A and B are shown apart, each in its own frame.
Chain A
Amino acid sequence: MKNSANYYLGKNRIKWLYIAGFFFLGTAFLLGIMLGSTPLSLEEIADAFRKGAHASAGARIFTYVRLPRTLASLVCGAALSVSGAVIQGVLANRLASPSMIGVNAGAGLAVTLCTAFGIFGGWQLSLFSFIGAFAAVMLVSFGAKRWGASRGTVILIGVALNSLLGAVSDTITTFIPEVAVMSSDFKVGAFSAVTYQKLIPAMVVVAAVIVILHTLHNELDVLTLGEENAKGLGLNTALMRTLFLLLAALLAGCAVSLAGLLSFVGLLVPHAIRRVAGGKAWNLLGLCALYGAAFVCVCDTVARTAFAPYEIPVGIIMAYLGAPFFVFILIKGKGGHSRD
């Protein structure tokens, strides 16, 4: 029997979690831009701002490599974590996450197709990536509803969808070898191919979607009361469910267009936040964005520096952390808030 004081999730605790989150994010960002195969000092970074294009080599590394990459890791971390939190809420399934149920794979296939047709960045890439993610998430959501699938089955549908979409992507890369150049990094997820051209649209969309989700936090809470209770409170459940999945797909699509198939972030971060902060959507969304961004940024910094001068894709580090964590949830948490 736990002490009831442990359950008191008062305003103070949430406040401190936010403060710690901002601190973590700031530190992660600073470390992210300073560390790497060429360590940069704060002076060199300041130099980049002062002199622009005429700056030193170090400053140019900052402007064209380090900054976009660090920003991309923040954007992806926030996007995937928030997307995971939303998908888990809407499907009432804490084992679900964008990578687990095939949403990332859907976006990944779309990105592979884009590359095959010569689209390497910009709004088009983000758009197609989103369409792929949305198609996948609607398919899984529809399947879960239509066949009354249990939480475990939804994950298995996701596994099947992941394999299928992966196979289609592989088929494309087999026939159009030029696409395969970036393929390996893309599959595990990495930030080595980030450009401003890809970053800017993704950043704008992710920021906008996270703001919109915050305005819908009560709707998200009510949706977790279950279909009938939510309807009883006047919520148009079918419409809201679709809207939330659409927003989650936008987030996942943007992340995939930047970093490829980064797995486990969308599972690990929302789960951890839910444990310490409770399930209230407002806190969940905000804290997931903060900690998710910081977490991926730290992971990417480790990926760049741990084996310097060699660099490993950040997805590998995520998998080392995430896979055991997933097993832990399966065994310990039994994965959800609705009994079935």
Chain B
Amino acid sequence: MIELRNVTAGYGKHTVLSNLSVAFEKGKLTSIVGVNGCGKSTLLKAVLGMIPLGGGEIFIDGRALGNMTRNEIARKAAYLSQGKNTPDMTVEQLVLHGRFPHLNYPRRYTAQDRDIAVLAMEQAGIADAARKPLHTLSGGMRQNAYIAMALAQNTDYILLDEPTTYLDIGHQLELMHILRGLAGDGKGIIAVMHDLPMAFTFSDSIVLLNNGQVIGNDAPNQLCKQQTISHVFGVAIERSADGQTYRYQYKA
């Protein structure tokens, strides 16, 4: 479990998260939603120890974040940032770097690391493109390559910042199914999402942020009944049953 207790964090004097408490569980896909600038990305960065805490504590599986080295954090939680370079390397080279936190200087990837990377590429559906340079791939395939890198990192938690942004709908759905599968395998998946119907449809749990505070934290079918979503976004979301599957959509 990743647990934030009374966390205050921000950039310099600008406080983004104030006195925020929330917990994320393994084996669940949790989406963090909220309007622009409410602190969604900041929350992920705080969990990864990328920004200093102004107050409060964060625990990853019972260990205080402050006592963990950057390598130890990277072995617990993988991170897919929002802005990604397109580095000058092939897919397999990128994915192999997912093994980086598991090695010490001088880092040399072993045959075992290579095997793990191959498995990760297969799981993310990118194995066919293993030898292709990243800049020759479509945005969706490149995203899958980064997912494979996070999988090769072999962590209990994967944190993703707007993973579906800029992807066409086919790739968005493919990605959400991959994330669902990973949660089913017991990993804790925490994703910052902009697309509410997508987040509600696929997540086990939704954390709603507003002004650096958690104002909603519930299962999708519960949260959509509350007023908080329309309070924050100005639109409501509803569940409609279509035979066996549920879909969430914006309410007229």
Residues of chain A touching chain B, judged by Cβ–Cβ distance below 8 Å, are 2, 4, 7-10, 92, 215-216, 218-219, 221-222, 224-226, 228-229, 231-236, 274, 278-280, 337-339
A residues less than 8 Å from B87 (CB atoms): 221, 224-226, 279, 337
Q: Are A226 and B74 in contact (CB under 8 A)?
A: no
B2 to chain A, nearest CB (A): 15
Inter-chain CA distance A222–B50, complex, in Å, is 16
Question: Is B126 on the interface with A (CB-CB < 8 A)?
Answer: no
Q: Are B88 and A226 in contact (CB under 8 A)?
A: no
B residues less than 8 Å from A215 (CB atoms): 105-106
**Contacts A228-B79, A229-B79 given; does A337 touch B109 at CB 8 Å:** no
A227 to chain B, nearest CB (A): 8
Inter-chain CA distance A142–B49, complex, in Å, is 23
A residues less than 8 Å from B136 (CB atoms): 2, 4, 7
Tell which of A4, A228, A231, A337 touches B86, judged by Cβ atoms closer than 8 Å.
A337
Question: Is B170 on the interface with A (CB-CB < 8 A)?
Answer: no
Interface residue tally of chain B, by bracket?
35 or more
Q: Are A280 and B70 in contact (CB under 8 A)?
A: no
Inter-chain CA distance A314–B73, complex, in Å, is 51
B61 to chain A, nearest CB (A): 17
Tell which of B75, B84, B88, B132 touches A4, judged by Cβ atoms closer than 8 Å.
B132
Q: Are B97 and A226 in contact (CB under 8 A)?
A: no
B residues less than 8 Å from A8 (CB atoms): 131
- Taken residue by residue from 182 to 195, chain B's Cβ proximity to chain A (1 for < 8 Å, 0 otherwise) reads as 00000000000000
**Contacts A279-B88, A337-B87 given; does A234 touch B71 at CB 8 Å:** yes
9 cross-chain pairs, A with B, having the tightest CB-CB distances, nearest first: A279-B88, A234-B74, A232-B79, A234-B101, A228-B81, A234-B71, A215-B106, A226-B85, A338-B85
A residues less than 8 Å from B86 (CB atoms): 337-339
- Taken residue by residue from 77 to 91, chain B's Cβ proximity to chain A (1 for < 8 Å, 0 otherwise) reads as 011110111111110
B104 to chain A, nearest CB (A): 11
Q: Are B74 and A337 in contact (CB under 8 A)?
A: no
B233 to chain A, nearest CB (A): 27
B73 closest partner in A (C-beta): A234
Q: Are B100 and A279 in contact (CB under 8 A)?
A: no
Question: Is B133 on the interface with A (CB-CB < 8 A)?
Answer: yes
B residues less than 8 Å from A234 (CB atoms): 69-75, 100-101
Q: Are A9 and B90 in contact (CB under 8 A)?
A: yes
A279 to chain B, nearest CB (A): 3
Known: A233-B97, A278-B89. 6 other contacts (CB 8 A): A9-B90, A224-B87, A228-B83, A229-B80, A231-B50, A231-B70
- Please list 5 pairs of residues, one from A and one from B, whose beta carbons are closer than 8 Å in the complex, sorted by A's number: A215-B106, A221-B89, A234-B100, A236-B70, A337-B87
Inter-chain CA distance A224–B69, complex, in Å, is 21
A229 to chain B, nearest CB (A): 6
Inter-chain CA distance A108–B189, complex, in Å, is 53
Q: Are A218 and B78 in contact (CB under 8 A)?
A: no
Q: Are A274 and B97 in contact (CB under 8 A)?
A: no
A residues less than 8 Å from B19 (CB atoms): none
Q: Are B74 and A233 in contact (CB under 8 A)?
A: yes
Inter-chain CA distance A5–B6, complex, in Å, is 55
B65 to chain A, nearest CB (A): 14
B101 closest partner in A (C-beta): A234
B residues less than 8 Å from A10 (CB atoms): 131
B169 to chain A, nearest CB (A): 23
Q: Are B100 and A233 in contact (CB under 8 A)?
A: yes
Q: B90, B97, B105 — which one has the most chain A CB atoms within 10 A of its CB?
A: B97
Question: Is B217 on the interface with A (CB-CB < 8 A)?
Answer: no
B27 to chain A, nearest CB (A): 22
Q: Are A229 and B88 in contact (CB under 8 A)?
A: no
Inter-chain CA distance A7–B90, complex, in Å, is 9
B129 closest partner in A (C-beta): A4
A32 to chain B, nearest CB (A): 32
Question: Is B212 on the interface with A (CB-CB < 8 A)?
Answer: no
Q: Are A232 and B85 in contact (CB under 8 A)?
A: no
Question: Is B93 on the interface with A (CB-CB < 8 A)?
Answer: yes
- Taken residue by residue from 4 to 24, chain B's Cβ proximity to chain A (1 for < 8 Å, 0 otherwise) reads as 000000000000000000000
B135 closest partner in A (C-beta): A337
- Taken residue by residue from 156 to 187, chain B's Cβ proximity to chain A (1 for < 8 Å, 0 otherwise) reads as 00000000000000000000000000000000
